[in-house]
Amino acid sequence: MKIIAAIISLVIASNVQAVPTVEGLFRNVNNKEPSGNLIVVTAMVSKMETASPAGMGEEVEKESAEETKKPAFYKWLISLEKEQSIDVIQVSYEDQSLKEDSVVASKYFPDLKKIVENDSSLERGMFYGLMSVLVLNDSSVLKNILNKYSQGFVSNKELMSREKINLYHRYKVYLEQRQSDEALVSPLEPEDQEKLSSVKETLSAPMYKDAGNVSLSREASELYWKVDLKSITALFGNEDHRLRKIEYQSPLGDLRVIADEYVLFNGSHELPKTMIYKDMAGVNWRVQFTGLSHLNTRSTPFTKRAQDYADAAKTYRKKQSAKATEQTVKLQQVQPTFIF
């Protein structure tokens, strides 16, 4: 444990870096790490006329004049029980009560990352990638989108200083071996002056090389970290590194997501109060997050939860069919293009 603590201290001390990396920004470091194995997110999605949270130089948002469909209400249950896998149950409801008897549909994604990778929709990939970033502090889903649709994205692994990594490895070996041989010389303090100078140079260098795709930018009189990956650009808060805006531009259409002010939902974890999502058809959607919970539970297997929600949706459809109103309900509720 002492060895690990020593190495961590060394990394932190030598990694004071003025310019963040793209992957580092999309790790959502201002948010605390997940504190449970089951995370529940709820949201209301409605159609808008314009995309426009205040403070980003956009128009003022307002409800669509043709607002004839009801908002859609969603719940996402995210399981972190499996390592290297994000399992998700997505439940849509008829109304904001989110009760079992109002479950309209349920979908189970046993590995969200693979599903997004195999999906051809940029709109869906962007939404679920951002959900993973904002809720889980996990950029792995979004990295697939950046690799597919942007130019110049370089992962942290590729940007890492090999010299520094090798030095850390040698230092770890030294810490392990010096307990039995106190005569060993620390690789951080070699006796040879030329080698010592080289070590100091390595330690003073940043952990990640500058890829040249992140810079400070002034937008609407505010300073932001701007990520420029040609077809994809993004803005992050200068000090808090919160995502404020991400945009994709192409001859086939543009996509834009703007995050409103961030709020704490459970005293520890935050989400934007609202996201305005402009899809590639030019339709603007308002995603209002209404709940966020981090739970520790193993009482019910996740697959059993998925089946229970699927059964509830089946019961709902039977009731609607008996009333001969199922088609009416579907027409009344919006169906966002960016949600499976």
Q: What is the mean pLDDT of residues 150-171?
A: 93
Contact 100, 236 (CB under 8 A): no
What does the pLDDT read at residue 58? 56
* Better-scored residue on pLDDT, 65 or 158: 158
Mean pLDDT over residues 130-156, rounded? 96
> What pLDDT was estimated at residue 8?
46
Query: What pTM value is reported for the model?
Result: 0.85
| pLDDT score of 327 | 53
Q: What is the pLDDT of residue 331?
A: 52
Residue 136: C-alpha distances to residues 161, 168, 244, 298, 334 (Å) = 27, 28, 17, 19, 27
Q: Is the pLDDT of residue 15 over 90?
A: no
Closest CA to 280 of 325, 209, 239, 338: 338
Q: According to the model, what pLDDT value does residue 66 have?
A: 44
Is-contact 80 283, C-beta < 8 A?
Answer: no
Question: What band does 205 get if pLDDT is binned at 50, 70 and 90?
Answer: confident
| CA 126 to centroid of chain Cα atoms | 10
**Position 267 pLDDT exceeds 80:** yes
More confident site: 181 or 132: 132
3-class secondary-structure state, position 229? strand
CATH of 27-155+212-332, one of 1.10.3470, 2.40.30, 2.60.40, 2.50.20: 2.50.20
Give DSSP secondary structure letters for 206-220. -SB---S-EEEEEET
**Start-end of CATH 2.50.20 domains in the chain:** 27-155+212-332
At 265 the pLDDT is 94
CA 79 → CA 162, 268, 302, 305, distances in Å? 35, 19, 7, 11
Question: The tokens of 11 are what?
Answer: 């990394």
Q: Is the pLDDT of residue 60 over 70?
A: no
**CA dist 292 → 112, 176, 273 (Å):** 19, 43, 11
**pLDDT on residue 95:** 95
- The average confidence (pLDDT) of the chain is 89
Q: Give the pair of three-digit tokens for residue 201.
A: 């140079």
Residue 269 tokens read as: 């974890």
Least confident segment among 146-150, 169-173, 307-311: 169-173
Q: Looking at residues 291-304, what average pLDDT do you find? A: 94
List pLDDT tens digits, range 70-103: 999 999 999 999 988 999 999 999 999 999 999 9
Residue 314's H or E segment, with its range, is helix 302-323
Element (H, E) at 317: helix 302-323
pLDDT at 14 over 90: no
- Of 34-48, 200-214, 297-311, 321-335, which gets the smallest average pLDDT? 321-335
CA–CA gap between residue 190 and residue 267 (Å, rounded): 48
- For residue 272, the model assigns a pLDDT of 98
- pLDDT value, residue 310: 98
Residue 57: exposure state from Cβ atoms within 10 A (0-12, 13-18, ≥19)? exposed
